[in-house]
Amino acid sequence: MLEILSATIAMLTGLMLSLWSVLSIMCGWALDVLYHLHVSAPRLEGLLIGIALAWVLSRREKHPLLRVFSAPLKLILDVLDLAWDQCVEVLQDLLETGKKMIFSSASWCRNRMVSVYEKIMGALSSAKRKLTK
């Protein structure tokens, strides 16, 4: 009976060591791939991270753990969306203000030119009337 127990313990120990070695080899491989992506292919790394984050955001309503992981990302996206909306609003206001200033100054110049023209024409027509009498 003791031999069966020691054989079972040896089998379980061997299985645990095998599992540990498989996990350590997989972690080493994953770290090597991540290091290679970070050093040699940063654009591919960014693309893969973007795809992973998009996947997490698209599936966030289906699993509570994904909702927890995507909460900071959702917060960042909401802040960026608000910043974009504010920038668009500021640019629209700036464009409207610029248009108003340009049109008002053009209108002022036009009115000044019309009044000068009317004064000159009025002076010339009064001189014409005086000369014809």
- Residue 131 is predicted with a pLDDT of 87
List, run by run, the mean pLDDT of 10-residue segments along the chain (133 residues).
92 96 96 93 92 86 83 88 95 94 91 93 91 84
The model's pTM: 0.48
- Residue 11 is predicted with a pLDDT of 95
Domain boundaries in the chain? 1-40
Neighbours of 70 (CB within 10 A): 20
- Residue 63 is predicted with a pLDDT of 83
Q: What is the CA radius of gyration of the chain?
A: 40
Q: How close are the terminal C-alpha atoms of the chain, in Å?
A: 147
- Residue 38 is predicted with a pLDDT of 92
